[in-house]
Amino acid sequence: MCLPQQAKSKRAFLAAGAILGLLAFCGKPANAQIAKVVDDAGRHFWVNAEPPATLKLSATARIQPALYMPAQASLTGRSRPSFWLDRDGAERLVREAAERHRVDPALVRAVIETESNWNPAARSRKGAVGLMQLIPTTAQRFGANDAYSPQQNVDAGVRYLKTLLQRYDGNLDLALAAYNAGEGAVDRAHGVPSFRETRDYVQKVQNAYFRPGSGRLDGLWINPRAIHKNVESTGRIIFTNE
């Protein structure tokens, strides 16, 4: 007996509803997806199938950011090979440079985080480039012929940071202020300049450096020119850098 098309549709609808009700009764999760299934006879069924396993991504499975920069040729002979740098590679450069120049790697990381947020291709409006945001004159002053080269950039930046720490007898406020605004600005102000940008910069770097879990090492860097206070048995106080 042939049923009218409307009766067939109603019957298919009731069958699908019965299947869905049975699956719900069996304890299927409420957030399961509805899937359409067609059997060999061409009949259509709708079931609350689980989402494919391949679509279930762990929230902790994050891809490390990486950057590829193509090779660059120059008529002056200063060509740069292509490079691929991820966060692990940048961390390795920081550790190596910090060890060479005896600077706390946690401080270098704090400077890079504040300066470029770990982007080796970063460029500021003032022309500072790379992970440690070196201006061309500073980069060349500390041996970086290619300021975009992550290895040269980090090494020159760490050397510059150590020079500032030595210049200001280990005063981190003054060293960071000079890194941001230049030694001349710090010397003229006899302290941290009143520039809002510089003061915010000093605070941001120190927040990153002193926060829990930064890996900060106490006493790693010792300034040979630091001034020490000595009190003699007579009570006389002597300040010396010996």
Active site (catalytic) residues:
115
Indicate the SS3 state at residue 76.
Answer: coil
Indicate the SS3 state at residue 71.
Answer: coil
- 1-10 in b/e form (b: 16+ CB < 10 A) is eeeeeeeeee
Residue 146, phi-psi category: left (phi > 0), alpha (psi -120 to 50), beta (remainder): beta
Neighbours of 186 (CB within 10 A): 25
Task: Enter the tokens of residue 160.
Answer: 């510059």
Neighbours of 50 (CB within 10 A): 12
